[in-house]
Amino acid sequence: MDTKNKYKAIALFSGGLDSTLAILTILRQGIDVTAITFLTHFGCDISDKSSCSKDPFSAAEKFGFQVKLCHLADKFIEIVKNPKHGHGRNMNPCIDCRILMLKEAKELMGITGADFIITGEVVSQRPMSQMRNTIYMIDKEAGVSGIVLRPLSAKLLEQTLPETKGIVDRERLYGFHGRSRKPQMALAKELGLTEYPMPASGCLLTEPNYSYRLRELLRYCPDPSLNDLNLLRLGRHFRMSPTCKAIVGRDEKENDLIEQFAGDNDYLMKIEDFGSPITFLSGECTEAFIPRAASICARYSDARHLAEAAVTVFNKNNSYILKVAPADESLLETYRVEKKNRALTVKI
């Protein structure tokens, strides 16, 4: 690769194949690249390699570019709730998300003195945000028209300022199109990129069951806390009332995580001497909901075949034993938060 670094670019970097190839293509032209990885409450946890298949730092270390992390936080939650351009098939506000990211990248351009922005987008790869006309509309709304270069599809798009100014050689860019990954895989081999994740959005908002849970949460809690959002990733969810919810862990790892979210007024439940989930009950917990949640806890434990199970109920202040019959299927169906065949219509 060239060593001359006269010009600078900011790259939108997911850690995936396309965004990595876009960066390497521009690095080959002697341009210094600073990559920015945007974090939201709905992406994978890059610090937890067991939950995330992509590490944005590994390619940076190998090929010599810098990665900065930027959390979109409340800005992103607001567009999830009320996206100007609507949701995709689930709760994904792809167009508004891209506009927000490009606005943030433009701010970083000003801070770092960069000349343009690059992304790994491929024309027609995704129907909502990567169609040609949509791409131009997104750039216009983000205030970045003419300064966003998409190296993998540049030859199919209008020339950008870095191309017309001679900063970037258009002939060394590409004209990839559609959903096939074969051109990218061939380019990766050419550039020495041997490790990259399989195609996946990495965004929980594209997953039907998670999106259903989020819609259900927003129906009862329009301004959820960070804990509320993080808990959506975990366990089985049961809505006891508009202000009370139970979450049942599915394995030891989830049990440990759920337990960490318990506050002073929350209840935890488990069955001693049996394989048992941790059941978390939060909100306005009336006396009626505690035995129901305990019954659900028993249903998912190894004591589910007993006529009666002894459930330990505890919080920060005390603990006691509650004997209940394991829940039957009708009770589970009454309270379970789960996507059914029928659509849930929620105004948010």
pLDDT at 342: 47
Q: State the Cα–Cα distance between residues 277 and 252, nearest whole angstrom.
A: 8
Nearest to 150 by CA among 114, 174, 183, 125: 174
Give the CA count within 13 Å in the CB-facing half-sphere of 146. Answer: 3
Q: What is the DSSP letter of 317?
A: S
Q: Taking a C-beta distance cutoff of 8 angstroms, is the pair 92, 205 a contact?
A: yes
Residue 63's CB: how many other CB atoms inside 10 A? 16
pLDDT at 346: 39
pLDDT at 45: 57
> pTM, whole model, 2 decimals?
0.86
Walking along the chain (348 residues) 10 residues at a time, the average pLDDT comes out as 70 93 96 94 62 67 92 92 93 95 96 96 86 94 98 97 97 94 94 81 86 96 92 96 96 95 93 96 90 97 97 91 96 91 42
Q: Taking a C-beta distance cutoff of 8 angstroms, is the pair 269, 309 a contact?
A: no
For 224, 259, 271, the CA distances from 236, given in Å and listed in that order, are 18, 14, 17
pLDDT at 56: 66
